[in-house]
Chains A and B, each alone.
Chain A
Amino acid sequence: MAHADTCYIGKRVKLELLSPEDVRQIHEATLDVIESVGVKYHSQKALDILEAHGATVDRETTVAQIPAAVVEKAMSTVPHEFTLGARNPEYDLPLDGEHIYISSDGCGVFARDPATGEVRPSRKQDLVDCARVVQALGNVSATSAVVSAQDCPPETRVLHELDACVRNSEKHSIVVSIKEDWEARSLIKMAEALAGGTEELKKRPMFTAIICTVSPLHQERYGMDLALVLAEAGIPVSFYPMPILGATGPITIAGAAVMTNAEMVSGAVLVQLAHPGAKVIHGGGPTAMYMSSGAYASNSPEALLLRSCQGHMADFYGVPAWYGAGATTAKEPGIQSAYENTLAMFMTYANGADVTFGTGLLDGSRILCLENMVVDDEIIGMVKRILRGIEVSKETLAVDLIKKMGFGGNYLFDNHTRAHVRELWQAKLGETGSYEGWKNAGARSTTEKAQEKVAEILAAEPVPFPADLGAEFDAIIAAAAREAAAQ
């Protein structure tokens, strides 16, 4: 079975938090903001394209005010379905609304030692380890630069990060924090080498780029310039607003939904005008602020509700949806990380997300904790099963069986039970036995069991990586270093 088949949920059980009328109001408010206030693009190239299509552009402030008709027309060329490619096609990920995936998160800067709990700056080896754990976990579908490879030169760091991901995992990769043109071109070269050519890459893009917008209503210069380069190469671009409710956006959820949507839509519009049909994704990781500490909270109910609004908007535009979930504020793996991430995953997928980004970090996406990925792997398995819903048919209603059994509870030995028992979800991590059995086995916590699982994965043989590709990657990274030095 291909990996994606295990992520199939069909027409999902959906939580309709917003009414169609609510969605329409948010859409109209979005159009109003983009047309009357506009968006600050910080990129003359972006302004050229927008102006050519009828936007009112101020070259000095770099603000483009885009008429609603232009926005609507651009959004009409957005592709509704496409597939994310993987090094091994077994791990290709169709984004069609009927599959859900989780990837590892990005971009932390620390790693936590599972034995001592000590926290230290992150390095490339952490990405290698993370990619290997992602590869081994059945319910995690994509790797990412989960932490920054801070022991690599800054000018080629992002290449080292993708290098670590794809050498150690056969799954799709997610690239965050690209800043420079040569980085994008080198990444595309690496991906073309993986896919087997330019055309092949367009069909099966080996990585997705997350481009953060800057609230309120800014698109970064490099974000826009890079989006254009990546879109042309067929790389999916996820526009990722991260407003903080009450700080860089309205404190009310509906207001923040308008702003996030305006930022996502204004990014998508630019890309669609330049490259109609380019793959864009409705992304975002909004947060709320804990007023008591000033810390931001990506898993507070308001932030989760905002993602729910985004899911509805993505559905309205027919764009794949990809949101932050899993960025617990907890400082260690345990109860808080478990309940926060559970709520985040359930709410985000139940409101329409195709992908959540992602798992593996603590302390608000700062500290790598691989054992938490093992726990999240178990949780998302349960969430997937629930969102697939209940099949109601003659066979599953089993009225004839109920009548046959009558008042005796002998279902266990019936053929119907044997025929369907394998459909039941099975725990991989959680305790399922008796208290005595648990005591006798050493009274281990879920976290300890997850740590052992990580150690087991890292002790096993890594997936092989073709030597010729390795040499090609080395050459690409070396060339990028020379190019950066010449700048």
Chain B
Amino acid sequence: MSAHAEGRFVGSRRPLQILSADDVARIHEASLDVLAGVGVMFHSQRALDVLEAHGATVDRETTVARIPARAVEEALATLPAHFTLGGRTPDFDLPLDGEHVYLASDGCATFVRDADGTVRPSVKQDVYDAARVVDGLPNLSATSALVSAQDAPEESRVLHELDACLRASRKHSIVVSIKDATEAKPLIRMAEAVAGGAAELKARPIFSVILCTVSPLHQERFGMELAFALAAAGIPIMLYPMPILGATAPVTPAGTAVVNNTEILAAITAVQLACPGAKIVHGGGPTALFMRTGAYFANVPEALMLRAAQAQMARFYGLPAGLGWGGTKAKQPEAQAAYENTLGMVLEMAAGADFLFGAGLLDSVQQMSLEELVIADEVFGMVTRLVRGVTVDKEHLAVDLIKKMGFKGDYLFDQHTRAHVRELWRARLAETGTYDGWKAAGSPRLEDKARAVAEGILASPTPDFPAALDREFTEIIAAVEAGRF
């Protein structure tokens, strides 16, 4: 067990049931019905080959595969229930076993909100800085290209982004915007360099990849072909449907749950049949449409409930749940960002999610804000404690102590208090003192304190990055840019 994961342990949970067991079964049945009746458009002949070989009815022209229930069941049988995400250093390995909870930074915005409120296009240095901050925050467990490295060449941008993440942070990385199966190879090469070889990478995948499905009922060609390449290398794949209620899926949450689940099952089926045992995470970031503005919104109750439902479906199928989180519409670090993201966080975690993706963005995942990373770290500490729940045993019930104390409130100085006081959660960012003390300190705002924490991390020494890796990364990227990879 890595040192970092120990701090993220919550033990077995009794998750919130947003759906009854009957509801789960009905969504499953409805998904099978849609898979067999309408099918899913795969846009990939290779995916169709695999599915056809396992009994799907395939139309090569439309690329639709109608998948029978038995093929789905065959695929579900080979899904690994537990696996570990590798950190750049093993201290940050993340077991996904249902008993640990993690928070990752988000992806992939194109703007950065600076300390003075200026909003500007993002560059590679921003990816690096964000990863540094993630590295320094104890409750964040994985980095990502929080913003796009828009100053890097398009053909190697995703490599520059992983390069920045791995150089700046010792934690696991999540890669989002791969567009082409050819990009997978150099990424895997970089990860093999970190892990120490192909077999080592399989045991400790240094990065995982988010693959979006396209609602309603499409899998992208490059998505499927990438999935096969990544699965073969042991890289975990987070399947990530992003239906919009009322636009690309039914407006009723139950109906969108069916679309969501059908897309996930279709992708699981293709990937598992092609690579049995491939590591898959049940992801997803459903949104709802704001009819008034036409904008879509990740943090409305309907979208949040759907994520809780996804966590339940993930448990039903026996795979880890890594859900979308954090897509506040707020335009600056402030109350709206706090209440929206906090509600999503506590709900998704209470529903049994293993990890959440992602912290650090504002304005519907368009603007990076380092303050938001720091605030997410604080709130996730509280949520982790909440999810860990209450221990009820003789020592914690403390009936003998209650009897001994009787009507005197002298608990503070008792041995029992001393023995357990360190278990109490401690605020790092929030005000916990007196009003006068706060005034005397200049009435600091929480967003300013959060900025100071981020800047403190950026001002501290960067964690060591091995020279050999430095050389290898530089060579891989140069080769890709020269068209030699």
- Which residues from chain A sit less than 8 Å from chain B, CB to CB? 13-19, 21-22, 25-26, 29, 32-33, 36-37, 40, 63, 117, 119, 215-218, 245-255, 257-259, 262, 288-293, 295, 297, 300-302, 304-305, 308-309, 329-343, 346-347, 350, 363, 366-367, 375, 378-379, 382-383, 385-386, 389-393, 395-399, 401-403, 405-409, 411-412, 416-417, 420-421, 423-427, 429-435, 438-439, 443, 445-447
Contacts and interface: CB of A to CB of B under 8 A. Distances in A.
A445 B309 contact: no
B331 A390 contact: no
Interface in B329-364: 329-343, 346-347, 350, 363
Contact of A416 (B22, B251, B339, B443): B251
B293 interface: yes
Given A398-B250, A401-B255, A425-B301, A392 B420 contact: no
B375 interface: yes
Most B-side CB within 10 Å, residue of A217, A293, A391, A399 = A399
A341 to B, nearest CB: 8
Nearest to B376: A339
Interface in B441-457: 443, 445-447
Contact of A247 (B248, B252, B411, B429): B411
Given A22-B392, A216-B406, A396-B253, A331 B302 contact: no
Given A17-B389, A253-B391, A295-B434, 18 more contacts: A17-B14, A63-B407, A216-B405, A255-B396, A255-B416, A292-B426, A302-B425, A305-B389, A331-B438, A335-B333, A343-B379, A347-B346, A397-B27, A397-B258, A401-B255, A402-B38, A402-B250, A427-B290
Contact of A406 (B216, B288, B416): B216
A290 B425 CA distance: 9
A329 B382 CA distance: 14
B397 A254 contact: yes
Contacts of B467: none
Given A397-B255, A433-B293, A334 B392 contact: no
Given A346-B343, A398-B255, A409 B37 contact: no
A439 B111 CA distance: 15
B259 to A, nearest CB: 6
Contact of A343 (B22, B342, B409, B417): B342
A255 B397 contact: yes
B301 A386 contact: yes
Contacts of A423: 251-252
A402 B246 contact: no
A336 B430 contact: yes
Contact of B346 (A346, A409, A438): A346
Given A409-B216, A424-B302, A340 B430 contact: yes
Contact of B432 (A295, A308, A397, A416): A295
B26 interface: yes
B305 interface: yes
Interface residues on B, range: 35 or more
Contact of B396 (A249, A252, A386, A420): A252
A55 to B, nearest CB: 16
B382 A343 contact: yes
Contacts of B447: 334-335
Contacts of B396: 252-255
B412 A412 contact: no
Contact of B398 (A250, A335, A421, A447): A250
A378 B293 CA distance: 18
Contacts of B23: 390, 392
B248 A411 contact: yes
Interface string B48-64: 00000000000000001
A389 B305 contact: yes
B339 A338 contact: yes
A36 B400 CA distance: 11
A250 B397 CA distance: 8
B300 A425 contact: yes
B177 to A, nearest CB: 21
Nearest to A253: B390
A14 B17 CA distance: 7
> Lowest 9 A-B CB distances belong to which pairs?
A255-B398, A398-B255, A338-B338, A301-B385, A409-B248, A385-B301, A248-B409, A338-B335, A396-B254
Most A-side CB within 10 Å, residue of B249, B304, B437 = B249
A252 B390 CA distance: 9
A300 B398 CA distance: 21
Given A26-B392, A336-B431, A392-B26, A216 B291 contact: no
Contacts of B309: 390
Contact of A288 (B290, B379, B401, B424): B424
B386 A246 contact: no
B147 to A, nearest CB: 15
Given A251-B420, A342-B339, A435 B18 contact: no
Given A336-B430, A343-B383, A391-B254, A435 B331 contact: yes
A17 B334 contact: no
B468 interface: no
Contact of B329 (A330, A407, A432): A432
A398 B291 CA distance: 20
B13 to A, nearest CB: 9
18 contacts: A16-B14, A21-B392, A255-B416, A257-B390, A295-B432, A305-B385, A331-B435, A346-B346, A350-B350, A379-B339, A390-B257, A392-B27, A397-B30, A399-B30, A401-B255, A402-B262, A424-B302, A447-B335
B424 A304 contact: no
B30 A435 contact: no
B427 interface: yes
Most A-side CB within 10 Å, residue of B17, B288, B329 = B329
Contacts of B392: 18-19, 21-22, 25-26, 254
Contacts of B434: 293, 295
A246 to B, nearest CB: 5
B26 A247 contact: no
B289 interface: yes
B390 A305 contact: yes
Contacts of A293: 432-434, 437
B208 interface: no
A119 B347 contact: no
A220 to B, nearest CB: 12
A247 B409 CA distance: 6
A267 to B, nearest CB: 15
A337 B446 CA distance: 10
Contacts of A424: 245-246, 251, 288, 291, 300, 302
Contacts of A29: 397, 399, 402
A399 B421 contact: no
A445 B439 CA distance: 22
A399 B216 contact: no
A420 B347 CA distance: 24
Contacts of A379: 339, 343
A251 B159 CA distance: 50
Given A255-B402, A337-B335, A390 B435 contact: no
A332 B443 contact: yes
Contacts of B402: 29, 33, 37, 216-217, 249-250, 255, 258-259, 262
Contacts of A439: 331
Contacts of B17: 13-14
Nearest to A379: B339
A291 B392 CA distance: 23
Contacts of A218: 407
A37 B401 CA distance: 11
B478 interface: no
B471 interface: no
A347 B386 contact: yes
Given A29-B399, A409-B215, A432 B297 contact: yes
A340 B342 CA distance: 9
Contacts of A392: 19-20, 22-23, 26-27, 254
A291 B421 contact: yes
